[in-house]
Amino acid sequence: MPSVRGREQSRRAADLVAEAEALAADGVRELTLLGQNVNSWGRDLAVEERIGFGGLLRALDDVDGIARIRFTSPHPKDMRDDVIAAMADCASVCEHLHLPLQSGSTAVLRRMRRTYSRERYLDLVARIRAAVPDIALTTDLIVGFPGETDAEFAETLEVVEEVGYDHAFTFVYSPRRGTEAVAMPDQVPEELKRERITRLVDLVQAHAARRNRARRGTVQEVLVEGASRTDPERSRGRTRGNTTVNFRGVAAPGELVEVRVTGSTSQTLTGELLAVRAGV
């Protein structure tokens, strides 16, 4: 939160492009753009330097040698059409987006002082998927926020069911001294919070497993990270959707390879090396 971290400060686009060019010259293939609210980047810059976050993605997409660009974490309220269009248009921008939800209940979101509603979030997901149909969506979810009723928790399950996330970071609300929430009435009992987190995790994993099963038989671009931790005849890396793949075959870290997916769990894929991509 800004009161803890201080106000956002944006680096100039020219400086970011220059850093990306230097990293590419050193062999870096993937960039991750980080920010307190990354897609609000640039609003504090001089007017003549404001190109919007979508414009920044396009500028970095033009850097030779950079094969992948990710960014985290955006805020739903600032996920604008220019960013969605850049994700669809830019070859290096990965088909993966971490889009925090926190709760599927508009009433709970209001108590959290989140500035979007359930309906606005779902509309945003629909627009993103229309532009980038094969995108992998991940999120953050909290259960047991003060006052959360059974019906409000059920609304979170409904959104998870509708979106079908590839992964979610799930949390049980815990009181923190000095926060507004700690003094709110109707604190949720610990036993009930634990019951709810179990149901939520089970649902998230069921959807993740289904989405990974659908990738069996497909050929995925994988950025190699190194050898498998458990099998020296296998390598590991990540897809553009940010899923870990363990695959049979040896490839060097930093190489982009093509892997045919042969198996899956809710968390990972397994496969076989087909080819190393040349010229990247």
Domain 219-276 of CATH type 3.30.530.20: no
* Mean pLDDT of the chain, nearest integer: 94
pLDDT of 165:
98
pLDDT of 122:
98
Mean pLDDT of 57-73: 97
The number of beta carbons lying within 10 Å of the beta carbon of residue 14 is 10
pLDDT of 154:
98
Confidence at 43, pLDDT banded by 50, 70, 90: confident
Question: For the chain, how long is the longest CA-to-CA vector?
Answer: 60
Confidence at 42, pLDDT banded by 50, 70, 90: confident
Length of the chain (residues): 280
Question: Per CATH, which fold does 95-214 belong to?
Answer: Transcription Regulator spoIIAA (3.30.750)
The single residue listed with the structure tokens 């928790």 is 153
In degrees and rounded to multiples of 5, residue 277 shows phi and psi of -75, 130
pLDDT of 280:
54
pLDDT of 6:
63
Task: Say yes or no to pLDDT of 2 above 80.
Answer: no
pLDDT of 79:
93
Confidence at 1, pLDDT banded by 50, 70, 90: very low
Mean pLDDT of 220-242: 93
pLDDT of 69:
98
Domain residue spans of the chain: 1-94, 95-214, 219-276
pLDDT of 232:
82
Confidence at 206, pLDDT banded by 50, 70, 90: very high
pLDDT of 95:
98
pLDDT of 23:
98
Confidence at 183, pLDDT banded by 50, 70, 90: confident
User: Secondary structure of the chain in the HEC alphabet?
Assistant: CHHHHCCCCCCCHHHHHHHHHHHHHCCCCEEEEECCCHHHCCCCCCHHHCCHHHHHHHHHHCCCCCCEEEEECCCHHHCCHHHHHHHHHCCCECCEEECCCECCCHHHHHHCCCCCCHHHHHHHHHHHHHHCCCCEEEEEEEECCCCCCHHHHHHHHHHHHHHCCCEEEEEECCCCCCCCHHHCCCCCCHHHHHHHHHHHHHHHHHHHHHHHHCCCCCEEEEEEEEECCCCCCEEEEEECCCCEEEEECCCCCCCEEEEEEEEECCCEEEEEEEEECCCC
pLDDT of 278:
66
- The pairs formed by 183-186 with CB atoms below 8 angstroms and a separation of 24 or more are 184/111, 184/146, 184/147, 185/146, 185/147, 186/146, 186/147
Give dist(CA 272, CA 265) in Å, integer: 16
pLDDT of 231:
85
Fold equal for 1-94 and 95-214? yes
Task: Say yes or no to pLDDT of 5 above 70.
Answer: no
Mean pLDDT of 197-222: 98
pTM higher than 0.85 for the full model? yes
Helix 81-89 vs helix 118-131: crossing angle, to nearest 10 = 30
Confidence at 279, pLDDT banded by 50, 70, 90: low
pLDDT tens readout for residues 123-179:
999 999 999 999 999 999 999 999 999 999 999 999 999 999 999 999 999 988 888
CATH code assigned to 1-94: 3.30.750.210
